[in-house]
């Protein structure tokens, strides 16, 4: 049951019955999605591309374009979140790790851009700390976004969320293009957040990255969450997994059978 874990939960984020409808295309994009993220919890979301994973992250922050109609009840630490009070949370309590480097300012060196996102004292010092914790070279702060390699860009995007010191990070595919050596460094801040009582919604295609940090994995298909299972279920041939789609997705990985049993 999706709802079981949320009974009595007052802290963290609760999404109830999220539906997204495209007004012009007359199409339901996300249907009746409910999900909760407790403090000190990392919830991964996996699923087909176009199944609505990024839409889920953007709808939490009310960042969707006008043509998409959003219906849901959302609670943050017990208080209703809507488009009127989201500006007080966005970039402060809840931060997004965007999927593409298009989100960076093309005309600002990345170090300078990250400082614009920060508040409070000792900005430079805090930035350097986060920057080197991600395994980034201090010289790279002077790079423009176009000078970054794919793997560097991912880590800069992660830094862009961390510098805002949020309680919840919505990470929209933060790991593609990151090599195996850097991966543990990239995932370390998420573990750190968990220890500090903060939470992460980890949208990814990389099951193995998800298994390293997440507590639960939600599987999306066609705009719906079809299964939420603890990470321990994702093992072997996936015999503990409930849904046949989840099983097929698991078995398709190159580490497993690398076949498409879903066709």
CA distance 172 to 206: 12
Query: Does the footprint of another protein cover residue 190 (CB under 8 A)?
Result: no
Q: What angle do CA 107, 188, 14 make, to 5 degrees?
A: 85
Q: 84-92 — which CB contacts under 8 Å span 24+ positions?
A: 86/61, 86/62, 89/61, 90/61, 90/62, 90/63, 91/117, 91/164, 91/166, 92/164, 92/166
Residues 107 to 166: which contact another protein by CB under 8 A?
Answer: 147, 149-152
Query: Does the footprint of another protein cover residue 47 (CB under 8 A)?
Result: yes
Q: Least distance (Å) from another protein to the CB of residue 167?
A: 27
Instruction: For the sheet with 224-230, list strands across it.
Output: 94-97, 168-172, 199-203, 42-47, 216-221, 224-230
Instruction: Closer to another protein by CB, 77 or 229: give it.
Output: 229
Q: Least distance (Å) from another protein to the CB of residue 47?
A: 6
Query: Who's near 62: CB < 8 A, 6+ residues apart?
Result: 70, 82, 83, 86, 90
Query: Does the footprint of another protein cover residue 64 (CB under 8 A)?
Result: no
Instruction: Closer to another protein by CB, 91 or 151: give it.
Output: 151
Q: Least distance (Å) from another protein to the CB of residue 257?
A: 9
The 78-97 site mask, x for binding another protein (CB under 8 A), equals: --------------------
Q: Least distance (Å) from another protein to the CB of residue 194?
A: 24
Instruction: Closer to another protein by CB, 166 or 174: give it.
Output: 174
Instruction: Closer to another protein by CB, 8 or 65: give it.
Output: 65
Query: Does the footprint of another protein cover residue 227 (CB under 8 A)?
Result: no
What Å distances lie between residue 82 and 29, 60, 73, 76, CA to CA?
20, 9, 8, 10
Q: Least distance (Å) from another protein to the CB of residue 54?
A: 7
Query: Does the footprint of another protein cover residue 176 (CB under 8 A)?
Result: yes
Query: Does the footprint of another protein cover residue 178 (CB under 8 A)?
Result: yes
Query: Does the footprint of another protein cover residue 66 (CB under 8 A)?
Result: no
Which region, judged by CB under 8 A, interacts with another protein, from 34-42, 81-89, 98-106, 227-235? 98-106
Query: Does the footprint of another protein cover residue 16 (CB under 8 A)?
Result: no
Candidates 1, 68, 12, 34; CA nearest to 225 is: 34
Q: Least distance (Å) from another protein to the CB of residue 253?
A: 5
Q: Least distance (Å) from another protein to the CB of residue 80?
A: 29
Bridge partners, residue 211, by sequence: none
**Interacting residue ranges for another protein, rule: CB under 8 A:** 46-51, 54, 99-102, 147, 149-152, 173, 175-182, 205-207, 248-250, 252-255, 258-260, 262
């Amino acid at each position: 049951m999706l709802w079981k874990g949320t009974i009595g939960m007052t802290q963290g984020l609760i999404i109830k019955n999220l539906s997204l409808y495209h007004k012009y295309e007359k199409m339901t994009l996300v249907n009746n999605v409910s999900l909760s993220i407790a403090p000190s919890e990392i919830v991964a979301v996996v699923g087909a591309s176009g199944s609505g994973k990024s839409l889920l992250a953007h709808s939490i922050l009310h960042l969707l374009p006008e043509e998409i109609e959003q219906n849901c009840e959302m609670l943050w630490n017990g208080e209703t979140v809507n488009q009127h009070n989201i500006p007080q949370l966005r970039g402060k309590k809840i931060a997004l790790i965007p999927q593409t480097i298009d989100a960076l300012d093309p005309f600002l060196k990345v170090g300078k851009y990250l400082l614009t996102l920060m508040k409070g004292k000792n900005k430079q010092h805090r930035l350097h700390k986060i920057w080197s914790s991600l395994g980034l070279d201090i010289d790279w702060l002077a790079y423009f976004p176009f000078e970054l390699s794919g793997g560097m860009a991912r880590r800069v995007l992660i830094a862009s969320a961390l510098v805002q010191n949020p309680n919840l990070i919505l990470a929209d595919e933060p790991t593609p293009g990151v090599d195996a050596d850097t991966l543990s460094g990239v995932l370390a801040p998420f573990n750190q957040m968990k220890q500090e009582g903060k939470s992460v919604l980890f949208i990814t295609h990389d099951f193995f990255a998800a298994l390293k940090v997440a507590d639960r994995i939600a599987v999306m298909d066609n705009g719906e969450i079809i299964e939420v299972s603890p990470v321990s279920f994702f093992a072997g041939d996936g015999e503990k997994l409930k849904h046949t789609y989840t099983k097929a997705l698991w078995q398709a990985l190159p580490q497993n059978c690398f076949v498409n049993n879903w066709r």
